[in-house]
Structure 1
Amino acid sequence: MYELSLMCPEDRVETLSDALDALDALSVSVEDADAQTDAEQALFGEPGMPPPKDGWQRSRVLALFTQEAQAREAVELLAAQDFFASCQVLGVAAVPDQDWVRLTQSQFAPVDITPDFWIVPTWHEPPAEATRVIRLDPGLAFGTGTHPTTRMCLRWIARQAATPGLGRVLDYGCGSGILAMGAAKFGATDIDAVDIDMAAVESTEYNAKANGVQLNAGLPDKATGCYQTVLANILATPLKVLAPLLCNHVADGGHLVLAGILERQAQELKDAYAPYLALSVADTEDGWILMTGAR
């Protein structure tokens, strides 16, 4: 494969990307040309929502082609376009062959939730001290145990399971199903895991089977009645919208556990849930917080 590297301003990123796609590029990616310098710009957007901007003021656009001739031809065709006047060709280079599977696997190591509870990819052996293990590989759905929000939820599950237990459990926005499986590993036997994305539902079913866990996965209408434990690791904005729905699922004496919230968003969530439950911060990690409430 061959990589064509281009530089362009923010207002040309979309046009240039579309042109490269039309020229049969295998993939097109955009990165900050000033990354790792004082001029680096951070761009944050919520999953499922349009990005705040198409690129950076100095964007590096990288396109992969099967043949060098394709990349060179793309350069010639792009150079003749009016929109390319403010863009620059940085070069065409061969991409060395790599074992991409092994490279990807090397980025995921076992993750400890507690000293004896671990999330372990299938290509690793569980640590000797692990008495509870979830086998989980990176996939299409969110939740591999590496993100602070997931770890905080799993830590809460491990603590709560000791006394008085988890009871009936709802994992709302289940992603990979990791929280539902964590609840099962700590004794929960009546578990519903729901998500609006069928890919997440299928991922949860696959992961549950691979881990020997019994749960009910489905779309949100699968969640019925009240639960002793309601878990939702999503993001602050949808969590605010879901406040009445989630709280309605919490049984008397039950617990609501929310994650995907930044520290600065704590008061927003408290205000949104105040008509239903009083929330408090139960855990923090790397700028993220876990919020809980009890009925």
Structure 2
Amino acid sequence: MPRFVFALLLVAVSVFGSKAAGAETVTAARKTERFDLRADRTGLEYRIFLVHPAEPPPPGGYPVIYLLDGNATAPMMEKTIAQHPPQPYGSAVVVGIGYPIDEPFDILRRYRDLTPPTPPELIPPSRDGTSVIETGGRDDFLAFLETQAIPAVESRLPIDRRRRTLFGHSLGGLFSLYALYTRGDLFQTYVAADPAIWWSGQAILKEQGAFLDRTAREGVPSGTALLIETSGKLVERALPPADAERLKRLRSGQTGREVAAALSAVPGLRLAFHQFPEESHGSMLPLAVADGLRFAFGQNPD
């Protein structure tokens, strides 16, 4: 098992408890509720990790942070909150949108949920070399978030609907940008950690172009904020030479840095960009989660 994945498992067990611990655990007086939802449009199951703050809600309701790949990222954010004084981060409702598995990531499900329909020639080789990668479910997943996940959270806790944050890493970062470009009113704060801009021949740049045209005329909803972060070190997968060369070609093109530069002209957008020069795509994840928490409370990364 890769060291990074093993570390994630240790964090998940220490913060959220093992499966045998039941549906609810208590960590530093913040209650973690775990429940499953079946998506109306697809019939697919999702696991929701909902962390209840220990303190009473602020006058306008709790700020809320939705994290994609929630099996892995929600425990990371809870660890960050536990390392800081309760205020202001202790008022955050943390919502991990994950899958009904015991592992940190469901690789094949996330390919489907976080991507546009992708031509076969633009789909990278699977990690095991045999799995079939399905794509094109991002609109179904966005509908699930809007019509089921968010209402389920807001039926359980008083939420400040003006302080919703969406965090995603890699394909999740790509999805965060897509949500901003197409449904910028659904969340106020978006975090795209090492977004996979390269996916499907950089198809996201078409939505970006339409977003830039629209916002040049209309701006963005008041309070909209975006944090883009990138890694600095490339760790290549062990693949046969032909697959490695193909993957290298697919991953070429613009990165989060170029996207941030293009979006700097958007009127009214609070934009921040940060790079981790000494971190890889995987090792930056817990650091980006911590930055996402701070950014949701108005603080840019150092």
TM-score class, shorter-chain normalisation, is 0.3 to 0.5
TM-score between both structures, scaled by the size of structure 2: 0.32
Query: Which protein is richer in helix relative to its size?
Result: 2
Query: Which protein is richer in strand relative to its size?
Result: 1
TM-score between both structures, scaled by the size of structure 1: 0.33
**Looking at CA atoms only, which structure, 1 or 2, has the larger radius of gyration?**
1
**Higher RCO (C-alpha 8 Å, min separation 6):** 2
